[in-house]
Amino acid sequence: MANIYSIAHVSLVVADAERSLAFYRDLLGLEVDPSRPDLGYPGAWLKVAEQEIHLLELPNPDPVTGRPSHGGRDRHVALHVRALAALKSKLSSANIPFTMSRSGRPALFCRDPDGNALEFIETNDGGPR
């Protein structure tokens, strides 16, 4: 049996780190972790409880067009949220399209400015504070 118990971070390739920070930090409210190392190219480490999202401003080897319209049918990062309604309001106000989970559970999918798919799942446990 593997001794894996957690994901440390997820890396996402972005075309413009500042544009991505406007989405992840300013819109979604994730905090930048200034203690993380500078890797010699633009990017940022964003705190998600005990894990992080690492934005990498590098040439993207993946197509950003022709992806499924519903992010649940594409590779994606899934994040827990306390209040899905508040997130829906923020995304709508920022004119960011999203789709609800097709399973009927309280979850939505959207894409960041570079086409990376994100899933947000509402949980009742409230998560870490």
Amino acid 126: pLDDT? 57
pLDDT per residue of the chain (129 residues) written in tens, 0 to 9: 678 778 899 999 999 999 999 999 999 999 999 998 888 999 999 999 999 999 999 998 887 788 888 898 898 999 999 999 999 999 999 999 999 998 889 999 999 999 999 999 999 865 554
Two structure tokens written together for 85: 């309604």
Amino acid 63: pLDDT? 78
Instruction: Tell which residue, 25, 84, 92, has the closest CA to residue 53.
Output: 25
Structural domains in the chain, CATH included, are 9-57 (3.10.180.10), 71-122 (3.10.180.10)
Amino acid 129: pLDDT? 47
Place of tokens 């960011």: 96
pTM of the model: 0.88
